[in-house]
Amino acid sequence: MQKKYNQIWLLSLVLLGLIGLFIVIQLNFNVLAYVLPSRLKKIAAILLVGAAIGVSSLIFQTLTENNLLTPSVIGLDAVYLFIQTIIIFLFGTFSTVLFNTYVNFFISVVLMILFTLGLFKLVFKKNVSVYFILLFGMVMGTCFQSLSSFMHMVMNPDDFLMLQDRMFASFNTVNTSLLGICAVVILVMLYIIYRKSHELDVLSLGKIHATNLGIDIDRLTGSMLLIVAVLVSVSTALVGPITFLGIIVCNVTYQFMKTFEHRLLIPAIICISAITLLVGQMLTQYLFDGNTEITIMINFAGGLYFIYLLFKEGAHD
């Protein structure tokens, strides 16, 4: 057990080292009063988003008993883009709904939570295979993307330019006024999950064993699905969609920690998610001079890793 805690401390030290490197690299002391707060806000957003996506993916995989599934893989990113497209298409770039930060954030989060809960209920209502869930998510994602593309074709060019900023996740354009709200929501959700970590450990043994050991499966699943929906929706509304981050960090955490205990997996996956995002942000910001987005890099690497996991899973069947 002490070895597992040492591994978490090692991840924490690596994360702190990367945070320090991110702060000091190419730091211009002549404009320190502007650059330092900007970088600290990016770090705060990275920590929040990494924690939300990593932990929500971990819980979702525990509930589905499959390490190939994450909430983003089954079409949630396409829903976010569709919501933003609808808002701009109906109200335009000069609408109160779009430019009022809190109204746009609230609408996006509520609609995504409702869609996510509806989709989760459908998925968990029937005992279906992982491949059916993936296919269903791809079909739903394609449907929303097609609707979005149609509106892109007919909307005002100025409106479309505004929409392009929301198509890719970016930590360079995070609305800092939302960081406080998101931090409170995410920390509360993480606290509830940590309190339920022992029940999640039992659930990871399988639904039959969990029922025999006194776990209320329906109550636990319902509450965890709601928390997952909130975490994914808040993180996506804050910075935009990052489809394959959950796939990468969950499976890397399993391989690194080699344990089923969620009270150990939760801090580990938060560190690994933040490390992944920090490395990606430093590559895009300093190596590529901001000419690409972190979403493209993570989705490319995550897509290849996802294909590898699919073949690996198929080889075991």
- pLDDT reported for residue 269: 95
Per-residue pLDDT reduced to its tens digit, 15-39: 999 999 988 887 777 777 778 888 8
Give the pLDDT band of residue 11 (cuts 50, 70, 90). Answer: very high
- pLDDT reported for residue 264: 92
For residue 274, pLDDT beyond 90: yes
Q: Does residue 93 sit within a domain?
A: yes
* CA 296 centroid distance within chain: 15
Per-residue pLDDT reduced to its tens digit, 63-85: 878 787 787 776 777 777 888 78
State how far the Cα of 99 lies from the Cα of 103, in Å rounded to an integer: 8
For residue 165, pLDDT beyond 70: no
Helix axes 2-24, 262-282, angle to 10 degrees: 20
As a whole number, the mean pLDDT across the chain is: 81
| Cβ(176)–Cβ(105) below 8 Å | no
Q: Does residue 28 sit within a domain?
A: no
Q: Does residue 231 sit within a domain?
A: yes
State how far the Cα of 27 lies from the Cα of 21, in Å rounded to an integer: 10
For residue 40, pLDDT beyond 70: yes
State how far the Cα of 90 lies from the Cα of 168, in Å rounded to an integer: 21
Query: DSSP 3-state assignment of 314?
Result: helix
* 216: CATH: 1.10.3470.10
Query: DSSP 3-state assignment of 39?
Result: helix
State how far the Cα of 248 lies from the Cα of 169, in Å rounded to an integer: 17
| Cβ(64)–Cβ(221) below 8 Å | no
Q: Does residue 176 sit within a domain?
A: yes
- The dihedral over CA atoms of 303, 278, 63, 230, expressed in degrees to the nearest 10, equals -110
- Highest-confidence range of 3-12, 87-96, 163-172, 223-232, by mean pLDDT? 3-12
Q: Does residue 185 sit within a domain?
A: yes
Residue whose token pair is 């006024």? 177
DSSP letter at 242 equals -
State how far the Cα of 150 lies from the Cα of 172, in Å rounded to an integer: 28
Give the pLDDT band of residue 286 (cuts 50, 70, 90). Answer: confident
* Averaged pLDDT, 224-236: 85
The total of structural domains in the chain comes to: 1
Structure tokens given for 300: 């490319």
Per-residue pLDDT reduced to its tens digit, 48-66: 999 999 999 999 888 878 7
Q: Does residue 23 sit within a domain?
A: no
Q: Does residue 25 sit within a domain?
A: no
Range of the domain at 174: 35-310
Q: Does residue 118 sit within a domain?
A: yes
Give the pLDDT band of residue 112 (cuts 50, 70, 90). Answer: confident
